[in-house]
Structure 1
Amino acid sequence: MKKWLTIVAVYLVLFSLVLPSTALASSGDQGINEKLGLPIVVYGEALTDAQKAEVKELLEVNQHEQVDEFTVNGQDLANYIGGNPNSNMYSSVKIIHQDNGQGLNIEIVTPDNITQVSKEMYTNALLTAGVENADVLVASSVKVSGHSALTGIYKAYDAKGVKLDEDRMQVASEELDIATEIAEEQGIDQAKISELLTEIKKAIAEQDPATKEEVEQIVQEQLQSLNIELSPEDRQRLADLFDKMRNLNIDFDQVRNQLNDLTNGLQDLINDDGFWNRIVSAIQDFFRALANFFNSLIGE
């Protein structure tokens, strides 16, 4: 038994080494940043005391000397994005403001419990809402879709005196809804949908469409470019969404670099053969070791 446990432990460690490190640099207290302010943590109101304690650990709240803490509830959901005020809120977030030019970095700490929203979807929606230059960590102690995390982020900014544009927040929420619904209903990979949204925004920045028809043309061109087939209804939903964005005070040129970074990250995720080769190799080595171990048992 000890021999078996040793083999399993060794290969679990080896397996973990081939996985890329994606966690944001949130560990290690560096004191209070007087320029950028305290980290902000927003908890879902529906969390029990035990769940809240778990979320605190997941978000590494104790790594910071001080944090500003808030709670988000269903009424906040209604106030910020017109959602159901009776909703139970579980998703929680930690926000660490960064200097200008550092970009927006999202990390889903509990990916198994955020079932519909990817970090790229969060990034796209938050850029639409006007959130920039921050590290944002999302966590939930129970399985949730992940939509309500946006409300927690909006409340955090509002509570700190940073007023985000209400129309942009509404459109960002609609963007997230449409992205997750299309991904789920059409069976399209989340990374592919995120890439589509990003490329449409970049095309809008480059072409500066003046009419809804021009926006519809951009949507159709990007669908064809990425070889994505949608129903006429979903194509129209996308066109209507981006036409709303066109009419808002969104400087797409200003966020173009972040959109480029997001595109590169998505392509790395989709096309990183080296990563998947490392995964396959580690799995093969692991099961080869198990097979050798069981053969040794038979031999004994």
Structure 2
Amino acid sequence: MKKLVTILALVMLFVSSFAGLKVSHASTNDQGINEKLGLPIVVYGEALSDSQKSEVADLLKVDQHDQVDEFTVNGQDLANYIGGNPNSNMYSSVKILHKENGAGLTIDIVTPDNITQVTKEMYSNALLTAGVENAEVLVASSVKVSGHSALTGIYKAYDAKGVKLDEERMQVASKELDVATSIAEEEGIDKDKISELLTEIKKAIAEQDPATREEVEQIVEEQLNSLNIELSPEDRQRLTDLFEQMRNLNIDFDQVRNQLDDLTGSIQDLVNDEGFWNNLKSAVQSFFRSLSNFISSLFN
């Protein structure tokens, strides 16, 4: 029995070593106060209890920063920014780290098991629609929630710091999130597949610059066919309505496409990161050497 426990301990050691490699790759370790970009911003959902708020602060690693600007988001904020229900309970919380121009937008859902409907790709798409860029955004919740209120928290963070996002773009971004999550749920389609669809439609709009609703509808149909996604006529109409509304806003789709390309490329960068894979290879070799030595000792 003791031997089995030891083997299991070695296995857990290997797993934790691999997890450590991944975490270090996405680390946001504190480097002091950046006087140019300002303090990190943390926005807590108002419905959190004191203990839940403390848990979220730990999840977002708030204590790794010397100072942060902290705010709370509530149902009235939801109503003010995107016309939602002012009586809504807000649980999703966010941390925002502003980055230099050209750094792009990165999203990390710290508690993926508790954000049940919104993927990080959906957040990315919606935030780019709203005009948010050059930032690292972390989302967390201590209870299971859909994840929609995190968007309002991000809007409030920017507003509180004097950055005015376009109201129409914020509302369309919220609608985009609603359309994406509801289609995924109602049609039984993988959320990542829906995110990919939204991304490809935006890229196609940037390339083709449609001038009419009919051309937008054609782009939607082309991308649905390209990704082999079957939707009801009603949901096809909803997508067309959404992107027609986007087309009528002052959105630089070329810039959005570049940001989306950067997001896609970051995944490929990890795949091509020789240092990461060398570290992983070393961890694997070290684990199996330890395991081999232990098993050999059993027979000596």
TM-score, normalised via structure 2 length: 0.86
How far did residue 266 of structure 1 move? Answer: 7.5
Secondary structure of the equivalent of 1:112? coil
Question: Are the structure 2 counterparts of residues 263 and 228 from structure 1 closer, same or farther at C-alpha, using a change threshold of 3 Å?
Answer: farther
Aligned-residue identity in percent: 78
How far did residue 21 of structure 1 move? Answer: 1.7
Q: Deviations over 1:248-297 (max 9, x none)?
A: 0100111222111334567999xxxxx9xx9xxx9xx99xx9xxx9xx9x
Secondary structure of the equivalent of 2:22? coil
- 1:7 partner amino acid: I
Q: How does 1:107-122 map to 2 (within 5 A)?
A: 107-122=108-123
Distance, in Å, in 2 between the alignment partners of 1:116 and 1:245 is 22
Query: Does residue 50 in structure 1 map to residue 41 in structure 2?
Result: no
Contact 1:90/1:142 (8 A) holds in 2: yes
Q: Which residue of 1 aligns with 2:151?
A: 150
- 2:258 partner amino acid: N
Q: Which residue of 1 aligns with 2:196?
A: 195
Q: Which residue of 1 aligns with 2:82?
A: 81
Contact 1:198/1:263 (8 A) holds in 2: no
Query: Does residue 7 in structure 1 map to residue 10 in structure 2?
Result: no
Q: Which residue of 1 aligns with 2:213?
A: 212
Contact 2:197/2:227 (8 A) holds in 1: yes
Secondary structure of the equivalent of 2:254? coil
Distance, in Å, in 2 between the alignment partners of 1:195 and 1:16 is 31
How far did residue 16 of structure 1 move? Answer: 4.1
Q: Which residue of 2 aligns with 1:229?
A: 230
Q: Which residue of 2 aligns with 1:126?
A: 127
- 2:28 partner amino acid: S
Distance, in Å, in 2 between the alignment partners of 1:210 and 1:166 is 23
Contact 2:52/2:142 (8 A) holds in 1: yes
Q: Which residue of 2 aligns with 1:100?
A: 101
- 2:183 partner amino acid: I
Distance, in Å, in 1 between the alignment partners of 2:186 and 2:148 is 17
Q: What root-mean-square deviation, in Å, do the aligned CA atoms of Structure 1 and Structure 2 show?
A: 2.5
How far did residue 185 of structure 1 move? Answer: 1.4
Distance, in Å, in 2 between the alignment partners of 1:5 and 1:39 is 43
Distance, in Å, in 2 between the alignment partners of 1:187 and 1:15 is 33
Q: Deviations over 1:6-53 (max 9, x none)?
A: 2222212323445572663323x2110000000000000000000000
How far did residue 4 of structure 1 move? Answer: 3.4
How far did residue 3 of structure 1 move? Answer: 3.3
Distance, in Å, in 1 between the alignment partners of 2:28 and 2:151 is 20
Distance, in Å, in 2 between the alignment partners of 1:171 and 1:55 is 28
How far did residue 186 of structure 1 move? Answer: 1.3
Q: How does 1:254-269 map to 2 (within 5 A)?
A: 254-264=255-265
Unaligned 5+ runs, structure 1: 270-274
Unaligned 5+ runs, structure 2: 271-276
Contact 1:223/1:229 (8 A) holds in 2: yes
Contact 1:101/1:133 (8 A) holds in 2: yes
Secondary structure of the equivalent of 2:228? coil
Contact 2:105/2:263 (8 A) holds in 1: no
How far did residue 190 of structure 1 move? Answer: 1.3
How far did residue 188 of structure 1 move? Answer: 1.2
Q: Which residue of 1 aligns with 2:274?
A: none
Contact 2:104/2:262 (8 A) holds in 1: no
Q: Deviations over 1:136-173 (max 9, x none)?
A: 00000000000000000000000000000000000000
Secondary structure of the equivalent of 2:132? coil
Question: Are the structure 2 counterparts of residues 177 and 36 from structure 1 closer, same or farther at C-alpha, using a change threshold of 3 Å?
Answer: same
Contact 1:195/1:266 (8 A) holds in 2: no
Query: Does residue 26 in structure 1 map to residue 31 in structure 2?
Result: no
Name the count of aligned residue pairs.
278
Distance, in Å, in 1 between the alignment partners of 2:81 and 2:187 is 29
Contact 2:103/2:134 (8 A) holds in 1: yes
Contact 1:198/1:262 (8 A) holds in 2: no
